[in-house]
């Protein structure tokens, strides 16, 4: 069993409030969860108005497949117009 972990560091440049940031992060989190069937949670930056981090976990029997799924998630986030991907980290256990 392979567990792929992806940590996404995001900036929300247009957020006017914490509520606005959380709404945008929740929208992205729900789209990722529904499209890729992975576990997603906001893991850092909860009190920062324009910064946040999402953690994504994917379980598979092959590292190659898990890497493909997590790479597609990175591509989706990179093309998100309301959020900016600052950095990401992939780890496999």
20-74 per-position pLDDT tens digit? 888 899 999 999 999 999 999 998 766 777 889 999 999 999 999 999 999 999 9
Q: Which domains does the chain have, with CATH numbers?
A: 2-92 (3.30.70.1120)
For residues 22 and 88, the model is more confident at: 88
How buried is 73 (Cβ within 10 angstroms: 0-12 exposed, 13-18 middle, 19+ buried)? buried
Task: Tell if the pTM clears 0.85, that is, is over it.
Answer: yes
Whole-angstrom Cα distance, residue 76 to residue 50? 19
Residue 50, pLDDT score: 84
């Amino acid at each position: 069993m392979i567990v792929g972990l992806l940590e996404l560091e995001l900036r929300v440049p247009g957020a006017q409030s914490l509520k606005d940031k959380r709404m945008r992060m929740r929208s992205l989190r729900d789209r990722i969860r529904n499209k890729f069937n992975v576990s997603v949670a906001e893991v850092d930056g909860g009190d920062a108005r324009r910064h946040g981090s999402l953690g994504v976990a994917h379980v598979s029997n092959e590292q190659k497949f898990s890497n493909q799924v997590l790479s597609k998630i990175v591509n989706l986030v990179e093309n998100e117009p309301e959020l900016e991907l600052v950095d990401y980290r992939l780890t496999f256990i």
